[in-house]
Amino acid sequence: MAMVHHIQFLKHAEIDFAKWDYSIHSATNGLVYALSGYLDCICPQWDALVMGDYEAVMPLPKKKKWGIAYIYQPWGLAQGGIFSRHLLTAEIEAAFYNAATQHFRYGTFDGNETHCLRNTPKTHITWRNNFVLPLARPYETLYNQYDRDAQKNLRRANRYQQFVCNNVTVEEVAALYTAQYGQLNPLAHTAQMQRMIAVGNWLLEQGLGFVQAVRDANTNSLLCAGLFGFYRSRIYYILGAPTTDGRNQQSVYLMLDSVIAAYATKASLFDFEGSDIPNVASFYSKFGSINKPYPCVHINRLPWPINKLKS
């Protein structure tokens, strides 16, 4: 069992990024979101908790409101929390989260799927849905585990004159998302979308991601497009959307199926990155995925009436 060593709080400028990234690469639960380059793109203001010689680490995205620093979960950072070279224990988790509450009296942020957190007097835990599909099987086996609706929609998609390609930019994916979902997600119209674009281009530059699209065979116009991460044998569906025509032609089914087919037996997991929205969760489950929830941690140790602060 791993022992809890000294946990230190480091400001962003104090972090040894080479050691940090090695820690994520060698962690039992390393995720692409925890790499320093990803964090720098999506939330330039982040500090960290580090145990021992980077044996376990925890990024701390932060903001300020009314002069009070607080932790938050940036859009585009699907999971956070503790990443450790050793198997996470309740003792290590408690030590990190106690340290976080010592430095931040307020915040809402996500852990990751390996956590087994419980409510404490200082923190309140809720759980968020995340659907993942194990890929270490032949494509035919994976396809046979799609539900009937997914198989029907794929057959329907293949009747249209459309084709899968990768000649699309991250900026085009982002613009398509904003056009389709901007009314539902106001952050799509803010600087955070520019940070999402920066993440996407960083992933492509590092060889840690790819783009995929479906185009109309007659007009070459986009029908849907997606940005995907690929790190430590895990595919991440980071951002994507269809056009109105693409929705009618079931183009997203075609796009996601093409990625699943390409990485069947070549990757371990397809991560749909959500969702707590019932319709989206239902869509992801059609591919035979399973729910691996992760904790969302709420801290509010502010005095009354400031404890009514909302981020």
For the record, the structure tokens of 241 come out as 């959307």
Residues 106 and 163 in one domain: no
- On whether the CB atoms of residues 288 and 146 are closer than 8 A, the answer is yes
Q: Which domain holds residue 15?
A: 7-127+294-308
Closest CA to 57 of 46, 45, 70: 46
- CA 290 vs. chain centroid, Å, equals 16
* Phi, then psi, of 283 in degrees rounded to 5: -60, -45
For the record, the structure tokens of 58 come out as 């925890």
Residues paired with residue 133 on neighbouring β-strands, in sequence order: 270
Q: Please state, in angstroms and rounded to a whole number, the distance separating the CA atoms of residues 186 and 96.
A: 32
pLDDT in the model for residue 305: 65
Closest CA to 82 of 99, 57, 118: 57
Q: What is the CATH number of the domain that holds 150?
A: 3.40.630.30
Residues 153 and 275 in one domain: yes
Report how far apart, in Å, the C-alpha atoms of 100 and of each of 71, 94, 182, 219 are.
9, 10, 33, 53
Residues 150 and 263 in one domain: yes
Q: What is the CATH number of the domain that holds 94?
A: 3.40.630
> Would you give per-residue pLDDT tens digits along the chain (311 residues)?
566 779 999 999 999 999 999 999 999 999 999 999 999 999 998 999 999 999 999 999 999 887 888 999 999 999 999 999 998 888 899 899 889 988 998 899 999 999 887 766 667 889 999 999 999 999 999 999 999 999 999 999 999 999 999 999 999 999 999 999 999 899 989 999 999 999 999 999 999 999 999 999 999 999 999 999 999 999 999 999 999 999 999 999 999 999 999 999 999 999 999 899 999 999 999 999 999 999 999 988 877 666 665 54
As a dihedral over the C-alpha atoms of residue 169, residue 173, residue 175, residue 180, rounded to 10 degrees, the angle is 160
pLDDT in the model for residue 311: 41
In a domain, 2, yes or no: no
The single residue listed with the structure tokens 């997600």 is 185
pLDDT in the model for residue 123: 72
pLDDT in the model for residue 307: 62
Q: Please state, in angstroms and rounded to a whole number, the distance separating the CA atoms of residues 33 and 237.
A: 12
In a domain, 28, yes or no: yes
pTM exceeds 0.85: yes
Residues 88 and 188 in one domain: no
In a domain, 34, yes or no: yes
R_g of the chain computed on alpha carbons: 20
pLDDT in the model for residue 136: 96
pLDDT in the model for residue 90: 87
In a domain, 1, yes or no: no
Residues 227 and 161 in one domain: yes
Residues 238 and 254 in one domain: yes
Residues 284 and 137 in one domain: yes
Residues 137 and 266 in one domain: yes
Residues 177 and 299 in one domain: no
Long-range contacts of 307-311, Cβ-Cβ distance < 8 Å, separation of 24 or more: 307/106, 309/65, 309/66, 309/68, 309/70, 309/106, 311/63, 311/65, 311/70, 311/72, 311/106, 311/107, 311/108
Residues 281 and 137 in one domain: yes
Residues 105 and 136 in one domain: no
In a domain, 299, yes or no: yes
The residue length of the chain stands at: 311
Q: Please state, in angstroms and rounded to a whole number, the distance separating the CA atoms of residues 77 and 62.
A: 13
Domain count, the chain: 2
Render pLDDT for 206-250 as a digit per residue (tens, 0 to 9).
Answer: 999 999 999 999 999 999 999 999 999 999 999 999 999 999 999
Residues 140 and 280 in one domain: yes
In the DSSP assignment, the letter for residue 122 is S
